[in-house]
Amino acid sequence: MPRRVAITGLGIISPLGLNLADTWKSLSEGRSAIGPITSVNMSRVPMKIQNGAEVRGYDPLQHFEGGKEAYIDRFAQFSIVAAREAVRDSGITLTPELREQGAIVCGSAVGGQAAIEAGFEDLYVQGRGRVHPLTIPKTMANAGASHISMDLGIAGPAYTISTACSSSNHAIGQAFHLVRDGAADMAITGGSEALFTIGMLKAWEAMRVIAPDTCRPFSKDRKGMILGEGGAMMVLEPMEAAKARGAKIYAEICGFGMTADAHHLTQPAVHGPARAMRAALGDAGLQLEQIGYINAHGTGTPGNDPVETRAIREVFGPHADKIGVSSTKSLHGHALGAAGAIEAVATILALHYGILPPTANYTERDPECDLDYIPNQARAAQVEAALSNSFAFGGLNAVVAFRRV
């Protein structure tokens, strides 16, 4: 008999705030964190990309002692900061048994590529003969999961999933199944990303998918995505164990669906995302009418938004018009492998507080995007269940379902 799984702790460091309370405040007030990029020396090379959603005001020395911050890439630092907050928030006691078999499943698309880029600068630009000695362990994509394990002393299954922009949703789904199926009695799951470097910005610039101004998902005048960064983690426990210890339960994670488009490297498709949503609903045992909110993938590119709209219509039929659909990427940017985790936090808190975060920067209706996108203003609504969509380059789709408790 599969177990029900409760979300008992949340932690986040995002462009919207350095912790859960501040991030939720910005989300629920619809305050976008998109602005001129300041963490990169933008004058070094000609750069079309000017705006992003950066984590501002973060001081690693408040979180790491003895010079350890120099050994941990920013993306992995975010995962530790978020995991610590999530565990603290859950109030869980890490018993020897939980430490022994607790799971950690993280998502990251690019891992510590900033660290190796710094090494390339030393070698190719500065002409030095050596790179920082910890370039390898800083760069590895599993650094986030490994550091959480060492930091919190949790020694069960721990790994990282890298499926571009779906990474975190794949991670959360896998962690959910580990707890549901009894392979772990606790899991910390989510994702993190830190991608603001010249090399990364130029690579995205070359893809021609970045908006020159801001991210306007589903709006007719949308011009593309805006990059973001951050980390978000949640604590999953069997529902019965959570109730037995009197834990605060934000929501239930109840379904996960994943599919591949088998179609195109970058062009979105309708059938893959639609099948992933159906799979998540089926896994959760949810009826279409129970879904009242979808946190859309909603990148704000001309390509994604109408295709995602069609996929939602295909799955939900007439009920699609009764669902609030928002893309919070308009607020926190697209944090690639952390996007699913940040958006899961938004979705879970939307269920918990009965406030649906809006799609910001929305100005004009697009006939091809004809759903209710909760434009610009958060909406008070007690919905029963919600989906969080993530669709990746390479045609990999992952959808997570949550239910209010």
Closest CA to 124 of 198, 182, 67, 203: 198
Collect all residues with Cβ–Cβ distance below 8 Å to 333 and sequence separation of at least 6. Answer: 15, 33, 34, 52, 53, 215, 225, 226, 227, 228, 229
| Strands, sheet with 103-107, edge to edge from the N-terminal-most edge strand | 158-161, 103-107, 187-193, 230-238, 5-13, 251-260, 396-403, 385-392, 291-295, 324-326
Cβ closest to another protein, residue 71 vs residue 391? 71
Which CB atom, from 127 or from 367, has the smaller least distance to another protein? 127
Q: Do the Cβ atoms of 151 and 80 come closer than 8 Å?
A: yes
Q: How many helices (H) and strands (E) does the chain have?
A: 13, 14
Q: Which of 170, 334, 352, 369 is catalytic?
A: 334
Residue nearer to another protein on the CB measure, 58 or 196: 196
**What is the chain's Cα-based Rg?**
20
- Nearer of residues 125 and 265 to another protein, judged by Cβ: 125
Place of tokens 């990029």: 37
Q: Rounded to the nearest whole angstrom, what is the least distance from the CB of residue 123 to another protein in the complex?
A: 9
How far, in Å, CA of 144 to CA of 141, rounded? Answer: 7
Residues making up the chain, counted from first to last: 405
Positions in the binding site for another protein (CB under 8 A): 39-41, 61, 65-67, 70-71, 114, 117-122, 126, 128, 130-135, 196-199
Q: Which of 165, 215, 254, 369 is catalytic?
A: 165
Token pair listed for 205:
């610039």
Indicate which residue of 297, 332, 352, 369 is catalytic: 297
Q: Give the three-class secondary structure for 130.
A: coil
CB of 110 to another protein, least distance (A): 14
Would you say 61 or 380 has its CB closer to another protein? 61
Smallest distance from another protein to CB 59, Å: 13
Contact 160, 107 (CB under 8 A): yes
Nearer to another protein by C-beta: 102 or 119?
A: 119
DSSP state of 129: S
Least distance (Å) between residue 126 CB and another protein:
7
334 is an active site residue: yes
Q: How far is the CB of 229 from another protein (least distance, A)?
A: 13
Give which of 166, 185, 164 is closest to 175, Cα–Cα. 185
Shortest CB 67 distance to another protein, Å? 5
Beta bridge partners of 369: 366
Residues designated as active site: 165, 297, 334
